Amino acid sequence: MLNSVNPFMHEENMSDNQSDKQQAGSQASECSQVDLDKRNFLIATSAVGALGCAAVAVPFVKSMTPSERAKAAGAPVEVDISKIQPGTIMTAEWRGKPVWIINRTDEMNAELAKHDDQLSDPASDVTSQQPAYCKNANRSIKPNIAVIVGICTHLGCSPSEKMQRGGDMGENWTGGFFCPCHGSKFDLAGRVFKGSPAPINLVVPPHKYLSDNTLLIGVDTEDKA
């Protein structure tokens, strides 16, 4: 006996297939729209973020004065030394490093010649540590004005100034600098004392005088030692 095929079932299956296809197409369209919306949102937020970064960066760049940009680039630095009183020190910045400018009194200069036997390099024979025109008893162009990079030659720390006699440095201390990190000691010409971890004297940078009260750090002078 032959099985009869219900024509209505066939039509019903076709209807279901069409419905499934329409539903799948609708879902794909919705997914495409969601993806498009996400992409547009990401593009918009990225653009806003970029504008925000630019807005922050511009004021930062503008906030740097020409002298600050010059210092960052290692350009020479001009310093007014007219207000440094005898026996005091001021700090300038050159190539990102502190540079001490010391106005030594006559008494301070006189003490420099009294402790050569306590120093590792009293005559500044390590020529890399100062220009030729500062290889003298005071390690300076002008006897009373010392110009020294304030970075310890041991591990790059910055020593503390101990300008006054005695105090917590002991009764025999006549003034200079002390590195609290490892105990290196330097006199008022930046010369290292024996027994210090620092192997050599502090650096005297290239410098010259534009006038009696104007110092230019970073450029060699034509003056002789």
Residues with a known catalytic role? 182
Residues 6+ apart with CB under 8 A from 169: 162, 178, 185
Residues 6+ apart with CB under 8 A from 152: 158, 159, 179, 181, 182, 184, 198, 202
Interatomic CA distance for residues 130 and 220, integer angstroms:
11
Interatomic CA distance for residues 108 and 171, integer angstroms:
15
Interatomic CA distance for residues 82 and 85, integer angstroms:
8
Say how many residues make up the chain. Answer: 225
* Widest pairwise Cα distance in the chain: 134
Q: In which order are the strands placed within the sheet that holds 97-103?
A: 88-94, 97-103, 145-149
* 14: helix, strand or coil: helix
- Which strand (E) or helix (H) includes residue 34? helix 7-63
Taking CA atoms, 54 is separated from 49, 63, 175, in Å, by: 9, 14, 50
